[in-house]
């Protein structure tokens, strides 16, 4: 966190130019109050980049729209019922919302919207004290009725009022507390944490789409591990994504195995580190992070105690892929995300056979083919899945995967692995065999693809001979 003086100087510069200055002048001239509020003020004091400009005012929506129309390039009033008008001013998007003092019925998170009269009352209805600070414009006066600055300095998340009432009004705030804890690196106040645990069942009134959105935002933070731990500790994970707390398998005195829950969190950490090092500057990869967190969820269902104190989890990759597909579908993730995550989980053990004996070029081709467009993510997930404390074993696995990636690179240059296809296409097959479209064409294509994977590219004449021989053998 940077000093208060540095933050105020930054906010002063922000308010003296661009859309902030334009809006401040327009609202002052019209005789209305205006304040920069919430996230932008918080992030200015934390020294974090400001990505959104949110304002609040005593002007009603119709007045807001009247004021911003002459100074903006575009306006959107889809949030008018909630008091929000959006606009593009000086090339930036802004949102201006009328002071509110909402009333909740306890059955849904949608309040009966009531407009308020003062900035202080508007701030005290917000989710957390660190988000309940505002900067009055144009005078640059900090308004902090709930002690948000003290909590910002202490690194604490706390609700402006009683947490039971805040979460009772809007249970989604429980997930937001967990997400902000991970995003800002703050600890959740004890009373706030207790309220989350006690009220966790009320999350059921929140739409699945909103839950999915908060879970996604959590996983896309720089360090989501603590947020996942809070989900589990609070009991919210049991209601949202129960496969994660289920990873906390009991270990008895006779049968020992790695702590699957802690292992999964470590894999998530390591996947994020590899994601950043291999693709610096790229946005957070939600598919990779979901796959890392869920890659072992098939273990509880496949756990077997073996003779000699060993524990096995045979086929947990296949079972886990099915479980992930079911859970992500229930959370309303899109089909592409579901397919990619489940495919990565299904394939995440494939590499470990590489160290048992040298793979043929055919095996390498199949690895690439099966991974398809998820190959780079599979590289990262497989490397992240090595959490052993045995340095020699870890080095051996790393060197083996280095070798596999190099072989893939060489074969890709020689054979265009990313687009492996048979040496003859469907039209060639029908012409050579003198057959029309049908099941036999697909079977012939599959045969030629297997030959291509086993032996690499063949001269066209040889491929034609192999096809005719295969067709004759069928007859």
pLDDT given for residue 253 in this prediction? 46
Backbone angles phi, psi at 312, to 5 degrees: -120, 155
DSSP per residue, 36-91 = EESHHHHHHHHTPPP--EEEEESS-HHHHHHHHGGG-SEEE-TTGGGTEEEEEETT
Q: Give the mean pLDDT of 382-410.
A: 88
Is the pLDDT higher at 210 or at 404? 210
Percent of the chain that is helix, strand, coil (3-state, to 5): 60, 10, 30
Predicted confidence (pLDDT) per residue in 8-22, tens digit: 777 787 777 789 999
Q: Does residue 4 have a pLDDT over 70?
A: no
H helix runs in 279-357, sequence order: 286-294, 299-302, 316-330, 335-347
pLDDT given for residue 86 in this prediction? 95
Q: Give the mean pLDDT of 108-124.
A: 82
pLDDT given for residue 197 in this prediction? 97
Contact 97, 117 (CB under 8 A): no
Predicted confidence (pLDDT) per residue in 68-87, tens digit: 999 999 999 888 888 999 99
Tokens at 30, concatenated: 């019209």
pLDDT given for residue 41 in this prediction? 92
For the chain, list the domains and their CATH numbers.
1-149 (3.30.460.10), 155-240 (1.10.110.30), 242-419 (1.10.3210), 426-474 (no CATH)
pLDDT given for residue 472 in this prediction? 87
Predicted confidence (pLDDT) per residue in 42-59, tens digit: 998 898 888 889 999 999
pLDDT given for residue 71 in this prediction? 94
pLDDT given for residue 196 in this prediction? 97
pLDDT above 70 as % of the chain: 92
Q: Give the mean pLDDT of 85-96.
A: 93
- Of the listed ranges 131-135, 187-191, 212-216, 355-359, the one predicted with least confidence: 355-359
Predicted confidence (pLDDT) per residue in 227-278, tens digit: 999 999 999 999 999 999 999 975 544 445 568 999 999 999 999 999 999 9
pLDDT above 90 as % of the chain: 58
The pTM assigned to this predicted structure is 0.82
Is the pLDDT higher at 323 or at 418? 323
Predicted confidence (pLDDT) per residue in 425-448, tens digit: 888 888 888 888 888 888 888 888
Contact 97, 35 (CB under 8 A): no
Q: What's the chain's average pLDDT? A: 89
Contact 170, 196 (CB under 8 A): no
Q: Give the mean pLDDT of 96-125.
A: 80
């Amino acid at each position: 966190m940077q000093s208060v003086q540095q933050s105020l100087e930054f906010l002063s510069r922000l308010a003296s130019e661009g859309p902030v200055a334009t809006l401040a002048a327009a609202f002052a001239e019209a005789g209305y109050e205006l304040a920069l509020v919430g996230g932008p003020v918080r992030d200015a004091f934390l020294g974090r980049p400001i990505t959104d400009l949110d304002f609040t005012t005593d002007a009603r929506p119709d007045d807001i729209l009247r004021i911003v129309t002459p100074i903006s390039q575009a306006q959107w009033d889809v949030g008018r019922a909630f008091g929000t008008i959006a606009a593009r001013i000086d090339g930036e998007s802004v949102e201006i919302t009328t002071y509110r003092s909402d009333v909740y019925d306890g059955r849904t998170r949608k309040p009966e919207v009531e407009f308020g009269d003062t900035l202080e009352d508007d701030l005290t209805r917000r989710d957390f004290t660190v988000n309940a600070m505002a900067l009055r414009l144009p005078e640059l006066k900090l308004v902090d009725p709930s002690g948000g600055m003290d909590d910002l300095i202490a690194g604490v998340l706390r609700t402006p009022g009683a947490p039971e009432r805040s979460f009772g009004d809007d249970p989604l705030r429980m997930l937001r507390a967990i997400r902000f804890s991970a995003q800002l690196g703050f600890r959740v106040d004890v009373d706030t944490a207790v309220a989350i645990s006690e009220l966790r069942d009320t999350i059921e009134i929140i739409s699945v789409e909103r839950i999915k959105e908060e879970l996604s935002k959590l996983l896309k933070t720089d360090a989501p591990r603590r947020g996942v731990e809070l989900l589990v500790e609070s009991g919210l994970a049991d209601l949202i994504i129960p496969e994660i707390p289920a990873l906390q398998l009991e270990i008895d005195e006779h049968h020992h195995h790695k702590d699957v829950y802690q292992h999964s969190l470590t894999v998530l950490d390591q996947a994020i580190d590899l994601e950043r090092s291999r693709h610096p500057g790229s946005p957070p990869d939600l598919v990779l992070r979901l796959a890392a967190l869920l890659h072992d969820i098939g273990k509880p269902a496949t756990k077997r105690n073996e003779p000699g104190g060993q524990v096995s989890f045979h086929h947990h990759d296949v079972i886990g892929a099915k479980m992930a597909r079911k859970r992500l579908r229930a959370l309303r993730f899109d089909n592409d995300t579901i397919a990619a995550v489940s495919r990565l989980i299904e394939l995440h053990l494939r590499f470990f056979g590489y160290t048992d004996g040298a793979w043929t070029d055919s095996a390498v081709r199949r690895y690439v083919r099966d991974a398809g467009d998820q190959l780079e993510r599979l590289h990262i997930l497989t490397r992240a899945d090595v959490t052993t404390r045995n340095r020699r074993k870890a080095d051996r696995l790393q060197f083996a995967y280095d070798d596999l990636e190099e072989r893939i690179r060489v074969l890709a240059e020689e054979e265009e692995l990313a687009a492996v296809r048979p040496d003859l296409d469907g039209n060639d097959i029908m012409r050579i065999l003198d057959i029309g479209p049908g099941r036999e064409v697909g079977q012939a294509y599959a045969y030629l693809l297997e030959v291509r994977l086993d032996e690499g590219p063949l001269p066209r004449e040889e491929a034609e001979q192999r096809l005719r021989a295969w067709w004759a053998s069928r007859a």
